[in-house]
Chains A and B, each alone.
Chain A
């Protein structure tokens, strides 16, 4: 037994060893596999996993930057920021989001509809990204939330800043801000990486134009978080950067004053420094309250704005298109003089109407003005005189002058909503209407009717460029201490009164671009405008200012809206009552003071009737106000000049 057992044992032991060897080979292979996996994870793919690990560890919460302010010429803030009380919710931190909403509903009076939309939003974003429940709470609501905070897990009371506008006089110029829409985020490249809850973007006006710079840089807080989303420690904070502040050329005092005068008329006023193009005032009325848009506009208010036939949301100063009416006569006369079509003292006999090309052309004065020359033609705004001038001049030469003086193209770079208007000529008509030009249309153009379309800011620029002696200026609304060439030139002229500078030297020495061939012609027009406002029989004689400091020279205009072409009037006349809509637009342009012109103004009152009755009286008040503040403005200007 022993021997056989012993032999058996040895064979068995050999078998065991053999099989163990096989197992060991298998183990070695498996071990190599595990080692390979370790190498692959910890050496080859280590970088990838390090990134993933950091992604786990770090979470960033973006901070909305403070929007830059917009100031007026005197550094008074017209668009600033104020503290607002908000509540945010971080879905991840709530125990039961339904309960939280239920509690909030009882504390804050949130509608079911709002809760529904919030839930939809929550479903779309990451659970740790905060969502704004309420953007603008009053203090009592805010303190109530703080009182109940212990039962509102995940809710965070936040003190934030939001845009606030001092008053609504500058609503159209500034525009408004509102929460970025999906479309904004898509179409505006600078908004990428900026999707911060509660971030407001400029929607219209300067707010929109300056948005990229004024919005600031988004900051972030980077936290290390654990697997349950709890913040363990702050790793990095970048406060972001407040947006750039802007100073404008506007005078808030004037803005307010103008807005007050305009009341709820559908009207606009532009005031411009005739030398450097600074826009002192640009008011469109009726106004709207831009503050209502900051936290999402109330539906009722929005509807009331939309349905108002005076179009309060439209910046009429840059987007309102009106036939210039008789205000164009200044340019018609100038163009005729420049092209040597007519001499100032050539006369035309006005009998109330003329018949040409088988069509009757009426003067606004049924009985006629009698014998008219250029000065009296402008002074009394005689249509028949200008029919004759226009007939001789032709529309193409007129359009050349009109374009030179700023009509038919955008005046400012600052407004997306600005419209270029129309300066018609034969080529234009062929191209856009597809018809040949009729000579009768030249006559209509000569009194600023027909296809002519201009914005109030264009008329203001036109007036300014006549008033400054016929030099091109580049209007601006963002303050810039440079570009005062024209003033340097005037200083030079005062010091060397007898030296005549040919236009080439004006360009080379002063970087000035004269718009005239002969500056005498400009003087003739200015003088005629003077007579219109300051001599008996002048169309705006009734609104004159006798005080020499304020005396202005102007030109009235009324544009017959019946002459609107379909395309140009569709936005304007849709829902208006027949009677109101049939009335003429009242226009007035002027510069002041006559002796030493400083400012140009344009006033347009939609359906206001005649320029002399509706528009000139407004201009009168505004001119006085602006000139009264001229010394202040100059002082501020000099001060700023020194500081910089």
Chain B
């Protein structure tokens, strides 16, 4: 009982440095570099605002990620609820002090950046539930009493984000929470109940949707119906990706993006731009990078002793996968346009911050893999 703890606490800095997963670090770095090139292309081949600020953010948050890697896993465990509460307060703050842009209120203005707390909440919820289910014993997991808190901590932020309105992010937050609950052993029937309740409430929910959100869903079902209206983005994105072909049109030669046919090319459609310029092999390269990153996170989950670490790593890896797939599915015309960034590649400070925070905690699980948390 004493020994492992003493071993862990006596880790030298050198030991910690050696136990970092360098494959993961390098993969993230490569993705970061790729994202800088992609951003340079969205700026029309000039070193302009988006590129500059993306480099800065990547640098800052990458360093943050490295620093967070050395934070004691026990500290993450003990502050999990607190972190969630802080993020939740920020989310409530958005409702009252948030900035409104293109019809939705998502951001808080800090003088150095506009923070989007809903992005942070993606990680916050996973962290909260990882700790919660770490503490709940197996026999209690499926008791109603113990399901109450997870439901509340999941629904509260999701509702806040839906009301911003930001359908995409709210779904992704919910996804993260549900994944952790599933991993912790919550029975499938509860998910089915939840689904049934969701479907029953769907008509009510739809009545709360903004017209543009309704249009997006209808458009996804039949994009060619209104090629210049709501289906425009999907069609143009498919054209861009498809026209990239095997080898792409070449760096800075993506006609779809630099002639502005591509919407939101910095953020949600960054993959489209990259695919257009680098073709199938480019797309494959990105896909492989993500697979490497995700599988490294899963591997860390495998070797981490604590269930808190496992739940967190598996939860985060799966959520990360969902983020990637939802974005790609969206730009490939497989899913409706819900507005979700591609981790690391997309422009956007909050998303970058949240992902780096999440990865930092993952790396801390690696460094302190043998440390028990309680």
Contacts and interface: CB of A to CB of B under 8 A. Distances in A.
Nearest to B232: A227
Contacts of A12: 137-138, 184-185, 307
B120 to A, nearest CB: 24
A546 B259 CA distance: 83
Given A8-B137, A34-B287, A43 B298 contact: no
Contact of A42 (B182, B246, B321): B246
Contact of A49 (B242, B298, B314): B242
B261 A56 contact: yes
B329 interface: yes
Contacts of A224: 255, 259
Nearest to A27: B321
B14 to A, nearest CB: 29
A225 B255 CA distance: 10
B183 A35 contact: no
A356 interface: no
Interface string B292-328: 0010001001100001001100100010010001001
Interface residues of B, number: 46
B144 interface: no
How many chain A residues sit at the interface, stated as a range, is 35 or more
Contacts of B179: 23
B259 A56 contact: yes
A20 B287 contact: no
B283 A11 contact: no
Contacts of B321: 27, 30
B37 interface: no
B243 interface: yes
Nearest to A38: B283
Contacts, number: 127
B244 interface: yes
Interface in B172-230: 179, 182-185
Given A12-B185, A31-B291, A38-B284, A52 B1 contact: no
Interface stretch (B87-95, B233-241, B358-366): B233-241
Contact of B310 (A8, A13, A33): A13
Interface string A603-627: 0000000000000000000000000
A181 interface: no
A42 B307 contact: no
A52 B243 contact: yes
A42 B259 contact: no
A42 B284 CA distance: 11
A11 B307 CA distance: 10
B280 interface: yes
Interface in A8-43: 8-9, 11-13, 15-17, 19-20, 23-24, 27, 30-31, 33-35, 37-39, 41-43
A83 interface: no
Contact of B243 (A27, A31, A46): A46
A52 B291 CA distance: 31
A50 interface: yes
A183 interface: no
A48 interface: yes
Contacts of B80: none
Interface string A331-370: 0000000000000000000000000000000000000000
Given A19-B183, A39-B280, 13 more contacts: A16-B185, A16-B310, A19-B185, A20-B183, A27-B321, A31-B287, A38-B284, A41-B242, A42-B280, A52-B242, A53-B255, A56-B255, A224-B259
14 contacts: A8-B137, A12-B138, A15-B138, A16-B183, A16-B184, A19-B183, A20-B310, A33-B334, A37-B332, A42-B242, A42-B275, A49-B241, A52-B243, A226-B259
